Amino acid sequence: MTDKVLVIGAGGQIGTELLEKLNEIHGSSNVVAADLNNSPAFSNNPYEKLDVLDKESLFNVVKKHQVNQVYLLAALLSATAEKNPLFGWKLNMEGLFNVLELAKEKIIDKVYWPSSIAVFGPTTPKVNTPQYTVMEPSTVYGISKQAGERWCEYYFNKYNVDVRSIRYPGLIGWKSAPGGGTTDYAVHIFHEALKNKKYECFLSENTTLPMMYMPDAIKATVDIMHAPAEQIKIRSSYNLTGISFNPKEIAEEIKKHIPDFSISYKIDFRQEIADSWPKSVDDHEAREHWGWAEQFNLSDMTSDMLLNLSKIK
Ligand code: NAD
Ligand code: AKB
Which ligand 1 atom lies nearest to the CA of residue 172?
40
- Read off the pTM: 0.98
Whether residue 182 has its Cβ less than 6 Å from ligand 2 = yes
pLDDT tens figures, 152-194: 999 999 999 999 999 999 999 999 999 999 999 999 999 999 9
Whether residue 7 has its Cβ less than 6 Å from ligand 1 = no
Is domain 171-211+243-280+296-312 classified as CATH 3.40.50.80? no
CA distance 10 to 92: 15
Whether residue 14 has its Cβ less than 6 Å from ligand 1 = yes
- Segments of the chain assigned to CATH 3.90.25.10: 171-211+243-280+296-312
Whether residue 114 has its Cβ less than 6 Å from ligand 2 = no
277 Cα to the center of ligand 1, angstroms: 19
**Region at 113 (left for phi over 0; alpha for psi -120 to 50; beta for the rest):** beta
**Region at 54 (left for phi over 0; alpha for psi -120 to 50; beta for the rest):** beta
Is domain 5-170+212-239 classified as CATH 3.30.460.10? no
SS3 8: strand
Apex CA 106: angle with CA 105 and CA 108, to 5°? 115
- Segments of the chain assigned to CATH 3.40.50.720: 5-170+212-239
76 Cα to the center of ligand 1, angstroms: 6
Which ligand 2 atom lies nearest to the CA of residue 210?
6
Instruction: Please answer whether residues 219 and 234 qualify as being in contact, where contact means their C-beta atoms are separated by less than 8 angstroms.
Output: no
65 Cα to the center of ligand 2, angstroms: 31
Q: Per-residue pLDDT for 313 more than 80?
A: no
pLDDT tens figures, 217-230: 999 999 999 999 99
